[in-house]
Chains A and B, each alone.
Chain A
């Protein structure tokens, strides 16, 4: 079942169009930085963007910092929202379930497919940005990359911290995928499920800027997304990374269970 869904993911032109769009924005940013040589000041712009003019090896992280707050979650919301609702819309869900396939297995296969897409998207953006950083932006100092705290990171340290950051970003999208999957089981409209997910993320971002909602902040799905930056401090600041993992696992459990509870007993029209 998972294999079938993965093949569908790879063969769909939509997958590659979305990946292309995810790569386009960081590419534009790299070109603009290279042409103008103007980087954001302290406290401004996405993470690491101010440093890439002197060290292009950080551009994969800057590129992911550019797409993480909006573009990547929208892509995940579109794919997750389409997971079940898309099958209903196209009338294929009934035939899928006629085969000896449990509904839980189908849901798990859909979720795994979205996660595989996220892994693919993160790797593609990072790889393209690495090439762009090398070709268009500054080369890393021979002595090593400078951490946020002013210490020097060896290429090995930079590599494993980058790998951790990429893995963290994938985990950050788990909650989005679970919410989109749940909404996809509620409606026969893929667009509706995707918009509902994006709406939740926008609400989360708005509440994060509101002091009156500070009691809610630790539970908001977008609260710890940028904590991957903490992996590049010295010593590494693990607290928010760990909290971010727990929050995403919480969303995965609750909305995954909700998707299962709803989909297991709902009537299949499509």
Chain B
């Protein structure tokens, strides 16, 4: 071998080794054993909310929701790639950081209150927790989203899926195909930690979709419960803690009690089985619809945004905009331009039927 060649072989060898080694480690075969979904397993998935853990997650959404100040966070969560860091002690005690290269937005949940910290604006805001609110960063964590989508799942809707190695865990996979005709979700693929049944990765597909409209996966996982200090926010002395009555427009609407919604709409009962106030969350698992009243000042700009979307149509019920598997309908109430906002992973026909029922009731 000439001196020229052996040196280049050294270069080639080093390059191949440095590229192949991490790739081999990342893609090494893995995955939990084939497991039959049973009612007990589905119950344990829901019970995994009590499992303490910490780690990192990455969520990628492809849904282009109408831009609106009131729903800005939602648009980011469902339409962009989001890096998350989380410490979870239980449903009432956790911390979720939305990490950016310019800073981070952190939410600290402590019992019945939560603090939101935004680094770039140096703003810390305390607000009471509302049972009714819009989806937030915590809801796209794989454990939260997995539990939400498998809530109310029937055993015959769930099938075994090939296991995968996720966040260093040989995970067990299930696919959920909702049987509700009202659902716009085609299937949910999810992988779970096999001892705690903590969801580690969730891929959500629309009907007939080949790529997930929302995919969220844990990239690192530590199954030791974090310390209390990890989820507690101590405001810096230079920052005054602000107070807000509600976390978002849905929580605000619920608090104001502008309307009294029925216990079921379009054949869908409330998700928690309770009688709703001004805001109702209906359906189960992947067939979910939220209904709440909007004041004219919020409804008008949102209606204008919806009207700019290509797929938007005006129906007798209101302004209807399908965004992937999410359907959005904004009705018009007599008066100053307010209306009911109905949105969820249900068909436009379901929303229209629900709107008609609400108009009749109004």
Contacts and interface: CB of A to CB of B under 8 A. Distances in A.
A157 interface: no
A149 B104 contact: yes
A45 B233 CA distance: 27
Nearest to A254: B15
A42 B8 contact: no
A219 B19 CA distance: 8
B332 interface: no
B121 A150 contact: no
A47 B237 contact: no
A113 B238 CA distance: 44
Contacts of A219: 19
Given A219-B19, A257-B11, A150 B124 contact: yes
A134 to B, nearest CB: 17
A138 to B, nearest CB: 11
A250 interface: yes
Contacts of B122: 51, 54, 146
Interface string B163-174: 000000000000
Nearest to A259: B11
A43 B100 contact: yes
B92 to A, nearest CB: 20
Contacts of B238: 54, 141-143, 146
B259 interface: no
Contacts of B105: 42
A45 B102 contact: yes
Contacts of A49: 102
Nearest to A229: B101
Contacts of B24: none
A50 interface: yes
A47 B11 CA distance: 36
B4 A149 contact: no
A149 B237 contact: no
A152 interface: yes
Contacts of A261: 4, 7-8, 10-11
Contacts of B234: 151
A41 interface: yes
B103 interface: yes
Most buried by A among B97, B120, B122, B124: B120
Interface string B206-249: 00000000000000100000000000011111110000000000
A47 B106 contact: no
A237 B100 CA distance: 12
Contacts of A148: 103-104, 119
Nearest to A153: B236
Contacts of A149: 97, 104, 106, 117, 119
B18 A254 contact: yes
B85 interface: yes
A254 B4 CA distance: 16
Interface residues of A, number: 41
B155 interface: no
B118 interface: yes
Contacts of B47: none
B39 interface: no
Given A51-B122, A219-B19, A239-B220, A43 B102 contact: yes
A59 interface: no
A161 interface: no
Contacts of B236: 141, 143-144, 146, 150-152
B100 A253 contact: no
A201 to B, nearest CB: 17
Interface of B: 3-4, 7-8, 10-11, 14-15, 18-19, 22, 56, 60, 85, 97, 99-106, 117-122, 124, 220, 233-239
28 contacts: A40-B102, A42-B119, A42-B121, A43-B103, A47-B101, A47-B103, A50-B102, A51-B119, A51-B122, A54-B122, A141-B236, A143-B238, A148-B103, A149-B97, A149-B119, A151-B236, A152-B236, A226-B101, A229-B102, A239-B56, A250-B18, A253-B18, A254-B11, A257-B10, A257-B11, A258-B11, A264-B7, A265-B3
Interface of A: 39-51, 54, 141-144, 146, 148-152, 211, 218-219, 226, 229, 233, 237, 239, 250, 253-254, 257-258, 260-261, 264-265
Given A50-B119, A257-B7, 9 more contacts: A42-B102, A49-B102, A50-B103, A148-B104, A148-B119, A150-B124, A237-B85, A264-B3, A265-B4
